Amino acid sequence: MIRARTHRTGSAGAACLMAGTAMLAFLGAPRFAAAQETHVLVVVGLGGTDAYRQSFAGYATELRTALTERDGIPTDHVTVLAERVDLAPEVVQDRSTKENVVRAMGEIAARAAPADRVLIVLIGHGTAQGDEGQFNLPGPDLSADELAAALAAFPTQMVAVVLTGSSGGGFVAPLSGPNRIVISATRTARERNATEFPRYFVDAIAGDGADMDKDGLTSLLEAFVYARAEVARHYEEENELLVEHAVLDDNGDGEGSPDASATAVDGRLAAGFRLGRTAVAAQATDDPALAKLYEERREILGRIDGLRASRDAMTEERYDEALEALLVELALKNREIKAREGGGS
């Protein structure tokens, strides 16, 4: 039996994740939150059966709810196209024909600012023509090349495309590029079985389980790592062979990595593409005292990052001593912030 374990980074992996989290904390600087907006296109393809149609519609609904209500993305920034509008009329704006998909992308391109972010999530079945992927839509399918051509409308924005279905691996190379994040549920176009990935990806975005660094935000890297691990666990619990192997590419080399992290070949951009809002991330305040406290907290987090980066140069005892001191300082600062915010301590 193939032991499809939950994602086991082991101690070396944990070190990578910690280092990656150091990067995350640093990237959590206020710059992005003020001006940058996020635009989302969710495309639900052909279900094939009622069961798939229902579940795909459910994922899309859950995703939209999470993005708008939890992550604070304006509803007019989230477009959902599906095989049938009647399956979720409160959520689906139009049918997910190729024409409508391309048009929706054009509309987003027209309104998006140069530094905005775009998230495109494809929920449905894929097929393959040789090594090239096709996404099944009502009417003509959408090929990887066609999607890549449509993405040319976003020359400056950071674009993330998440292919949650079968054969998504056939899209990685064609979509790969600078400032692009491509997440695929499958390593190649030849992994043709229906996937478990969308369920866990949506869980990651909608819940807290993927927020591994507990900053109240879920990055696409965190969502990818979480979904990949949960997929593996699902197959193991079902005593089945693992037939889908998710990958992430964000360094533009056209090769997806299964073990992406903030310090690996792939994962840095995805680590910075974060969704959600928390007291840590929310930077906007009119209270100068509170703003000062936020700044002080960021400064402490920065010192923690610095300490973590120099871990190897210290004995374990000294390191833990120094870390604890900073964490205590951070904890006390949090209490001050909570008290100031009116949340108590």
Partner 1 sequence: MIRRTALLLVAACLTSAPSASAQTEAEARAALRAGDYDQAMRDLQRLVRADPASVTARRSLVEALMVRGRYDDAEAAAREAPDPTAMATTLGRVLVRRGRLEEAEAAFRLAAEGGAEDRLTAEVDLAELLFRRGRIDEAMGRFDRFIDVYNDAGGALPARDLVAVGRAVHRLSRTDPDLIQDALKAFDEAATADPGWAEPPLLTGELFLEAYESPEAQAEFQKVLAVNPHDPRALLGMARALDFDGTPGAPERIRAALEVNDDDPDAHVLLARLSVSREDFARGEEEAERALEVDPASLEAMSMLAAARFLADDTAGFLEARRRALRLNPRYAGLDATVAELAVQVRRYGDAVDRGATAVALDSASWRAWGLLGMNQLRMGRIEEGRADLERAFAGDPYNPWFKNSLDLLDTFSRFKTVETEHFQLFLHGTEADLLAPYVSRVAEEAWDSLYAHYGIEPKQPVRVELYPSHADFSVRTLGETGLGALGVSFGSVLVLDSPAARQRGEYNWASTLWHELAHAFHLAMSDNRVPRWFSEGLAVHEQRKAREGWGHQASIPFLQALRDGKLKKFSELNDGFMRPEYPEQVGFSYFEASLVFQLIEQQHGFGAIRTMLDGYREGQTTEKLFESVLGTTSERFDDEFDDYMRARFASPLRGLARVGETPPADAGPDALAAYVRAHPGDLVARMLLGALLVRAERYDEAQPHLTEALKMFPEYGGPDSPYYYLAKIHEAHGDLERAAAALARLNALSESNYDALLEEAAVQDSLGNTAASAHALEKAVEVFPYDLDLHRRLAVLDGNLGDRLGAVRERSAVVALDPPDRAEALYHLAVAQMDAGSREDARRTVLRALEIAPAYEDALELLLALRRSGTGAP
Please tell me whether residue 209 binds partner 1 under the rule CB under 8 A.
yes
Structure tokens at 334: 């949090």
> Token pair 């700044």 is at which residue?
295
Please tell me whether residue 339 binds partner 1 under the rule CB under 8 A.
no
Backbone φ and ψ of 284, nearest 5°: -75, 120
Backbone φ and ψ of 83, nearest 5°: -55, -45
Please tell me whether residue 239 binds partner 1 under the rule CB under 8 A.
yes
Give, to the nearest 10 degrees, the angle between helix 144-151 and helix 98-111.
20
Our CB check for partner 1 shows the closer of 216 and 252 to be: 216
Within 13 Å, how many C-alpha atoms sit on residue 42's CB side? 28
Least Å distance, CB 76 to partner 1, is 31
Q: Find, among 161, 236, 149, 147, the residue nearest to 196 by Cα.
A: 236
Q: Which residues of 197-221 are buried (b: 16+ CB within 10 A; e: fewer)?
A: bbbbbbbbbbeeebbbbebbbbbbb
Q: By the 8 A CB rule, do 256 and 203 touch?
A: no
Please tell me whether residue 153 binds partner 1 under the rule CB under 8 A.
no
Answer for which of 133, 280, 293, 294 binds partner 1 (CB under 8 A) is: 280
Please tell me whether residue 293 binds partner 1 under the rule CB under 8 A.
no
Please tell me whether residue 277 binds partner 1 under the rule CB under 8 A.
no
Please tell me whether residue 182 binds partner 1 under the rule CB under 8 A.
no
Residues 6+ apart with CB under 8 A from 54: 47, 87
Q: What is the C-alpha separation between 122 and 231, in angstroms, rounded?
A: 18
Q: What is the C-alpha separation between 32 and 272, in angstroms, rounded?
A: 10
Least Å distance, CB 56 to partner 1, is 24
| Stretch of residues binding partner 1 (CB under 8 A), selected from 160-168, 170-178, 181-189, 208-216 | 208-216
Answer for which of 196, 215, 249, 250 binds partner 1 (CB under 8 A) is: 215
Please tell me whether residue 344 binds partner 1 under the rule CB under 8 A.
no
Please tell me whether residue 310 binds partner 1 under the rule CB under 8 A.
no
Please tell me whether residue 136 binds partner 1 under the rule CB under 8 A.
no
| Stretch of residues binding partner 1 (CB under 8 A), selected from 34-42, 63-71, 288-296, 316-324 | 316-324
Please tell me whether residue 207 binds partner 1 under the rule CB under 8 A.
no
First to last CA, the chain: 50
Please tell me whether residue 251 binds partner 1 under the rule CB under 8 A.
no
Answer for which of 8, 31, 111, 318 binds partner 1 (CB under 8 A) is: 8
- Chain positions contacting partner 1, by CB under 8 A: 1, 3, 5-10, 13-14, 17-18, 21, 25, 209-216, 225-226, 229-230, 233, 236-237, 239, 280, 301, 304, 308, 320, 323-324, 327-328, 330-332, 334
